[in-house]
Amino acid sequence: MNIGLDMMGGDFAPLEAVKGLALFFAKTNTDIHFTLIGEEIAIKDLLHQHQVPLTNIELVHAGQAIGMHEHPTRALKEKPTSSIALGFKLLATGKIDAFISAGNTGAMLVGALFSIKAIEGVTRPTIGAYIPREDGSLGLLVDAGANADCKPENLSQFATLGSLFVEHILGINNPKVGLINIGEEEGKGNLLAQAAYPLLKENEHINFIGNIEGRDILLSKADVMVCEGFTGNVVLKLAESVYDIIQRRGIEDEHFDRFNFEMYGGVPVLGVAKPVIIGHGISKDLAFKNMISIAQRMLETDLMQKMKEVFVQKL
């Protein structure tokens, strides 16, 4: 297993990525190989400073970096030796088995879609986001912003992909799938939700429980919460802002501490043929450590193969 890590992505690069690696090694007895992509000299110094064991670590120098606000497609084209472009090249050619970055989200998404391609049968890969629930568990909101306009079939595929991720990575058996909607009964909602409902009901690969409403998103009613990426992104950013308000109000509460979305590490791109994980720009060491753990688990459980098998059945 060889996990590629973009060392130049995020607001605190490459320091926090190195600290995340150190944290991972401190907590895990592992024989994973790592390929670290970025400014070789700076990274070497930091690895040394933070006493990261160099066995099983390979450095790949990246002479360029893509900024957080650069245009994704243009940046990937114009910066072929950037850490993100190199990472996708290594992933596409099988030199690494998974790729993690806290860099430019758009560039990561474009790279995943165009370098790695979708799993056969998946029309629109998606990005999920974790939602903390009061019972201490995590749910998955999917799509969290990758697909602003969707067809009903897309939502049904998001449900399948999300269910597999939640079952194998978050460890919830037979996860409940809810369609985010503006009413509980079948037939409610906008045209998209009305048309998606019967497709979800017929989808044999998921445990569909029906519609859920905005008030159910932060509860445990459904483990996989499906919507198009417009609503999903607004909902996710609103939930993130609740944590900021809680902080500003000086409220200390164990449950709301879990609204610190940074601690979950990155969100997976679901539906592409290899594991790609996109971190928040503000990712710190814990986030990097968690992203590595998620990639490890995605590889160990052979999640991509499980996804391929489901979609092959459907073709």
Least distance (Å) between residue 192 CB and a second copy: 8
| Residues 293-312 as x/- pattern, contact with a second copy by CB under 8 A | --------------------
Judged by CB under 8 A, does residue 228 bind a second copy? yes
Half-sphere exposure of 7 (CA within 13 A, CB side): 27
> CA-CA distance, 223 to 163, in Å (whole number)?
8
Task: Give the residue, chosen from 26, 41, 54, 148, that forms a contact with a second copy under the rule CB under 8 A.
Answer: 148
- For a second copy, the binding residue among 11, 120, 153, 244 (CB under 8 A) is 244
List of residues 6+ apart from 164 with CB closer than 8 A:
303, 306, 307, 310
Q: How far is the CB of 111 from a second copy (least distance, A)?
A: 19
Instruction: Tell me if 74 contacts a second copy by CB under 8 A.
Output: no
Contact window for a second copy (CB under 8 A) among 24-32, 59-67, 241-249, 263-271: 241-249
Listed ranges 18-26, 50-58, 229-237, 293-301: which one lies at the site for a second copy (CB under 8 A): 229-237
> Which residues, listed in sequence order, are joined to residue 74 by a DSSP beta bridge?
none
* One-letter amino acid of 33: H
Strand 33-38 relative to strand 2-6, pairing: parallel
Calculate the alpha carbon distances from 77 to 13, 19, 110, 178 in Å.
Answer: 22, 30, 11, 39
Closest CB 138 distance from a second copy, rounded Å: 16
Query: In the complex, what is the shortest distance from the CB of residue 281 to a second copy, in angstroms, rounded to a whole number?
Result: 13
290-to-52, 178, 204, 273, 284 alpha-carbon distances in Å: 17, 26, 31, 21, 10
Scanning the chain, the segments in alpha helix (DSSP H) are: 15-27, 40-49, 72-78, 83-92, 105-111, 152-168, 191-202, 229-248, 254-257, 285-300, 303-314
Q: Taking CB under 8 A as the rule, does residue 193 contact a second copy? A: yes
Indicate the residue among 170 and 217 with the shorter CB distance to a second copy. 217
Looking at the Cβ atoms of 135 and 204, the one nearer to a second copy is 135
Specify the residue, 41 or 182, whose C-beta has the smaller distance to a second copy: 182
Assess 241 for contact with a second copy (CB under 8 A): yes
| Residue 256 binds a second copy, judged by CB under 8 A | yes
Which residues make up the interface to a second copy (CB under 8 A)? Answer: 134, 145, 148-149, 180, 182, 189-191, 193, 213-219, 227-231, 233-242, 244-245, 248-249, 251, 253, 255-256
